[in-house]
Amino acid sequence: MISANDPFYQDVARQLEALILDRTLLPGSKIPSERQLAQRLSVSRPVVREALKELRGRGIIETQRGRGSFVSEMLPAASDQSPLRHLFRDHSRAVYDLLEVRELLEGQSAFYAALRLTPADRYRISKAYEAMDHSTSGEIDVNIEAKLDHNFHQAISEATHNPFLAYTLRSLSQLLLDSVITSVNNLYHRPEQRMMLSAQHHSIFVAIMDQKPDEARAAAVLHIQEIRKSLQAIEMENQRLERAGKWELIREKQ
Amino acid sequence: MISANDPFYQDVARQLEALILDRTLLPGSKIPSERQLAQRLSVSRPVVREALKELRGRGIIETQRGRGSFVSEMLPAASDQSPLRHLFRDHSRAVYDLLEVRELLEGQSAFYAALRLTPADRYRISKAYEAMDHSTSGEIDVNIEAKLDHNFHQAISEATHNPFLAYTLRSLSQLLLDSVITSVNNLYHRPEQRMMLSAQHHSIFVAIMDQKPDEARAAAVLHIQEIRKSLQAIEMENQRLERAGKWELIREKQ
DNA sequence: GCTAATCATCTGGTATTACCAGTTTTTACA
DNA sequence: TGTAAAAACTGGTAATACCAGATGATTAGC
């Protein structure tokens, strides 16, 4: 129960938060009283109070004198992007919806980057492209490649000189980076997809460097579309495998 | 100092937060010790501790045993949209950058809404449109009209059935709603602009109801473009007035 | 039997005191 | 002058007592 390094109040806060986030404690529901929690968790009441204040500061509980503490009806962000994370986690088609928005924004991002390119942008995008290219031609480390891919796109979005566009894209693409869903990341394991991604990054890069906005947009849109198609192909393949697995099960029962 | 209704710990947290947010206490800087704060604010140390835990839960301070409490180097969101707010506040061309992104997303939002319209969507969008239309034809209350405008656009974005798109648009447009910069809101005060906005909302509405995606997109894009043009016109007018003001000043000095 | 008032118990909120564990500063000694 | 130890500082924990608001149970009055 008690972590060796962290203060008790942080442990308690963490435990309570876990109960809330995994829906053991539902929004609106009452949290046990401070005295009860202190007794059950074998800590003093001030420790519980401090833990509850931390959760309150995070906005995930509300407390009222005389009534008790309750899980907030609306659970707000644990971080900036937590509403987005929530959407991503709970939504079975999330990755496709996300790609739909990204297609639009990445296309426009590439368009404006090509249009507004400064020497500093040129340098930054080149550096990011080279790092990614260098990584692509070497040994596969999916996490690093995904991150460098992300960095390349971010350099582009920053070259738009529209901070809202850059911020929005960063928020959305960060979801894929951080995701426990590895389907997108798994594209890097497949040689044909990996080469495709690499070629498309090259097309985007060249169009931006040559300052051809329409070509840059088209290349970026195609890039996301190809990712989507690849994911769909992988998904269908997984469904075929799954159906085959079910058939094997039924057959063994006869 | 002490609010009549709130617990002391909330008052203390609020006061400290204000010092941090108005940059009296800079990121990375040390916060006075618990004992000092307790003494200076004439509260007990547990009250201070609880206040600090609340701030810690908000992510705006960090505490370490033996060292003290410090303002976080990276100040995270006080709310979901706080990074966006930061961009908006600090960026002199913010409203135009924001409109640039909105133009893209609103266009696509209208496109998908027209494409994917369900009966429930139809109902919701109609209700939002009627509320707005009804308000437009009556007495001017800018805040209400802006909010109803926002609701109309939100109903459309929800009809896309892409939660990421809906969320992103909501975040961005909420900035304008909440903004202390009232230039967009001031459009409602001008009869010709108000009528223009109303007509454009009508075009968007009709195109979506008739399920014409391309028309819906074009109408939505035009809508944002017109807002931008109006703002630019108001800005130029303000600059002419400002220059005239300066001339008057110089003339009086002679 | 029903309603209102009172009381008991519960809840979070505040204060005091004592002590512990980690960090930093000061002092003493070689 | 440098190093080690002691003192002072920091946040962390626990216990105790009491206060203020909320809720539920009981009692009294009609």
Q: Which segment, A24-28, A104-108, B58-62, B250-254, is predicted with the most confidence on average? A: A104-108
A11 nearest nucleotide via C1' and CA: D12
More confident residue, A145 or B253: A145
Domain boundary among A71, A97, A118: A71
Residue B19 backbone phi and psi in degrees, to 5: -60, -35
The pLDDT score that the predictor gives to residue B214 is 93
Residues B132 and B181 in one domain: yes
Residue B45 has pLDDT above 90, yes or no: yes
- Kindly state whether residue A90 falls inside one of the protein's structural domains: yes
Residue B2 has pLDDT above 60, yes or no: no
The pLDDT score that the predictor gives to residue B228 is 83
Residue B55 has pLDDT above 60, yes or no: yes
Q: Does A167 touch chain B (CB under 8 A)?
A: yes
Q: Answer yes or no: is A93 CB < 7 A from strand C.
A: no
Domain boundary among A71, A92, A120: A71
Q: Answer yes or no: is B46 CB < 7 A from strand C.
A: yes
Pick from B96, B241, B116: nearest CA to B183: B96
- CA distance linking residue B208 with residue B205, whole number of Å: 5
Q: Which segment, A136-145, A235-244, B34-43, is predicted with the most confidence on average? A: B34-43
Spell out which residues of chain B touch residue A59, defining contact as CB-CB under 8 Å: 58
**pLDDT over 90 percentage in chain A:** 23
Q: Does A123 touch chain B (CB under 8 A)?
A: no
Pick from A182, A191, A207: nearest CA to A137: A191
CA closest to D22 C1', residue: A66
The pLDDT score that the predictor gives to residue B134 is 73
N-term to C-term CA, chain A: 48
Residues A14 and A129 in one domain: no
The pLDDT score that the predictor gives to residue B33 is 92
More confident residue, B205 or B58: B205
Ranges of H-type helices in chain B: 8-21, 34-41, 45-57, 82-90, 94-116, 119-136, 142-158, 163-178, 191-209, 213-253
Residues A37 and A114 in one domain: no
CB contact at 8 A, B113 and B125: yes
Residues B125-167: tens digit of each pLDDT: 888 888 887 765 555 566 667 777 888 888 898 888 887 888 7
Domain boundary among B19, B38, B71: B71
Residues A113 and A62 in one domain: no
Q: Does B54 touch chain A (CB under 8 A)?
A: yes
The pLDDT score that the predictor gives to residue A74 is 54
CA closest to D15 C1', residue: A44
Q: A162–B97: do the CB atoms touch at under 8 Å?
A: yes
The pLDDT score that the predictor gives to residue B128 is 86
Residue B123 has pLDDT above 60, yes or no: yes
B50 vs A49, A87, A162: nearest CB: A49
Residue B173 has pLDDT above 90, yes or no: no
Residue B210 has pLDDT above 70, yes or no: yes
Residues A164 and A233 in one domain: yes
Size of the A and B interface in Cβ pairs below 8 Å: 105
The pLDDT score that the predictor gives to residue A140 is 55
How many domains, in total, are found in chain B? 2
- CA distance linking residue B160 with residue A100, whole number of Å: 11
Residues B66 and B99 in one domain: no
Residues B213-248: tens digit of each pLDDT: 999 999 999 998 888 887 777 666 666 655 554 434
Q: Which of A61-70, A98-107, B42-51, B87-96 has the lowest mean pLDDT?
A: B87-96
Minimal-distance CA residue of chain A relative to B172: A164
- Kindly state whether residue B2 falls inside one of the protein's structural domains: no
Minimal-distance CA residue of chain B relative to A90: B163
Q: B82–A84: do the CB atoms touch at under 8 Å?
A: no
The pLDDT score that the predictor gives to residue A248 is 44
Q: How many CA atoms lie within 13 A of A199 on its CB side?
A: 9
- Kindly state whether residue B1 falls inside one of the protein's structural domains: no
Residues A57 and A117 in one domain: no
A47 nearest nucleotide via C1' and CA: D13
B53 vs A50, A84, A91: nearest CB: A50
The pLDDT score that the predictor gives to residue A62 is 87
Residues B195-207: tens digit of each pLDDT: 888 888 999 999 9
CATH number of the domain that residue A97 is part of = 1.20.120.530
- CA distance linking residue A164 with residue B102, whole number of Å: 10
- Kindly state whether residue A77 falls inside one of the protein's structural domains: no
Residue A67 backbone phi and psi in degrees, to 5: -105, -45
Residues B166 and B232 in one domain: yes
Q: How confident is the model at residue A75 (pLDDT cuts 50, 70, 90)?
A: very low
A104 vs B59, B91, B104: nearest CB: B104
- ipTM confidence score: 0.51
**Domain range enclosing A118:** 82-250
The pLDDT score that the predictor gives to residue B110 is 94
Residues A196-207: tens digit of each pLDDT: 888 889 999 999
Per the prediction, chain B carries an average pLDDT of 77
Average pLDDT rounded to a whole number, residues B8-33: 85
